[in-house]
Structure 1
Amino acid sequence: MYNQRPNLILGFHGCDESVRDGLMLDPNKYKDSKEVHDWLGHGIYFWENNYDRALEWAKDKKKRGKINKPAVVGAVLQLGNCCDLTDKNSIDVVKSHFLNLKQDYDVAGLSLPVNKNIKEDKHKDLLLRELDCSVIEYMHSRILTAYKGDMATKGFSEYQVFDSTRGVFTEGGPAFEGAGIFDKSHIQICIRNSNCIKGFFIPRKEIKWPV
């Protein structure tokens, strides 16, 4: 019952300026990420209350030749029924689905996907999360299938489909010598149900106050 997140929060999405401006004109014209290595499964990604990290990500993407002009679009989010990986209940749900997925792979004689490093990452943060993505997508699929089956046969279901997934990640190596604080630690949000996005906005520049 405590998976519901009724409060509004701000999220920031790093992208090309054309994508940002397109969302201002048509906020329903969005694109899900469906990479096999998405950290929180498939959906629309935001950095929670972290404009600077979103812009940094967009600038890094420009360096890789993926976008032309780095920009950030803000969003007002309500996470709804959230698989929050800072919460024990959600972690236990994901763990149980991992065991089921592993069993399925064992029966099929297949090897599970694995999380991988990229050679450019000196901190070995496992930036390609193929295992995590597979487990989370498997969880969403199993829950949705059970929900639809119940609705078709009984007209109701005790299963609750997740609207969003949220996780805290430590990344980038120690912020200073001997630190337990990491340089790129952040909270990431993956929206699956686009109704959780209440609106987009272009972030303002901060002004000096008081003057």
Structure 2
Amino acid sequence: MTRRWDMYKRQPGFVLGFHGCDQRVGESVLAGERHLTPSTNPYDWLGSGIYFWESSPARALQFAEAAASTAKMITKGNIKTPFVLGAIIDLGNCFNLIDASALKELREAYDFVSSALAATELPKNVGGPDKLMRNLDRAVLETMHQLRAGFHEASRATPPYDTVRSPFGEGGELYPGSGFSSKAHIQIAVRNSDCIRGYFRPIQR
């Protein structure tokens, strides 16, 4: 496993994340009655974790509203009243998929999965042009975490990732001929819940 540039995987400072959910869940978290729980769906884009939209309460609200209004299952939780919950996140040791070394590590994990499952069919990303059900990506990401854990146990050299972060282009062209996507965003999956330093109610103004 490649370990060059590992000292730069730890991100300085905090980021603001926004989670789209049902109002009942959000109010319960704000009241200190519960913590958000990790998503473990087989199609999760960034693998297991507590999901946030980075710096975009508007995108979190769009997601919650879509989940409340569609018959399609886009989240396991039942959303009746769309709500946005803010969080202060320490990215910690971050698997940051805008970093070339992270992309290389993920490709190495794919090669391992492809070889290990050579006799069977690999999971597939499906669900239209945006590939909304990312079974392959989740399998590769979880394998990467498992490989890293194995190396860490053997040599103490590869600490586990606290968070996974990636930009996504989604939703087609923002305007005709555009290189921008209409639903472009950055997602964060928090694997170590201690990295969520606090929750807050976003101010709408």
> Could you state the TM-score of these two structures normalised by the residue count of structure 1?
0.88
Instruction: Answer with 1 or 2: which has the greater Rg.
Output: 1
Identity across the alignment (%): 36
Partner of 2:177: 178
Q: Which residues of 2 match residues 74-113 of structure 1 at below 5 A?
A: 74-106=86-118, 109-113=119-123
Gaps of 5+ in 1: 119-123, 151-156, 207-211
User: Which amino acid letter does the alignment assign opposite residue 85 of structure 1?
Assistant: L
TM-superposed CA distance for 1:24, in Å, is: 0.9
Partner of 1:15: 21
Deviation string, structure 1 residues 120-155 (Cα, Å, up to 9, x no partner): xxxx111111100000011111212332344xxxxx
| CA–CA separation in structure 1 for the residues paired with 2:147 and 2:50 | 20
Deviation string, structure 1 residues 150-198 (Cα, Å, up to 9, x no partner): 4xxxxxx111211110000001011111111110000000000011100
Q: Are the counterparts in 1 of residues 48 and 191 from structure 2 also a CA contact under 8 Å?
A: yes
Gaps of 5+ in 2: 1-6, 72-77
TM-superposed CA distance for 1:8, in Å, is: 0.6
User: Which amino acid letter does the alignment assign opposite residue 124 of structure 2?
Assistant: V
- SS of the residue 2:30 aligns to: helix
> Could you state the TM-score of these two structures normalised by the residue count of structure 2?
0.90
Q: Are the counterparts in 1 of residues 17 and 53 from structure 2 also a CA contact under 8 Å?
A: yes
2:54 maps to which of 24, 28, 48? 48
User: Which amino acid letter does the alignment assign opposite residue 82 of structure 1?
Assistant: C
Q: 1:27 to 1:3 in 2, by over 3 A?
A: farther
The number of residues matched between the two structures is: 193
User: Which amino acid letter does the alignment assign opposite residue 134 of structure 2?
Assistant: R
How well do the aligned residues superpose, as a CA RMSD in angstroms? 1.3
User: Which amino acid letter does the alignment assign opposite residue 130 of structure 1?
Assistant: N
| CA–CA separation in structure 2 for the residues paired with 1:3 and 1:29 | 26
Partner of 1:115: 125
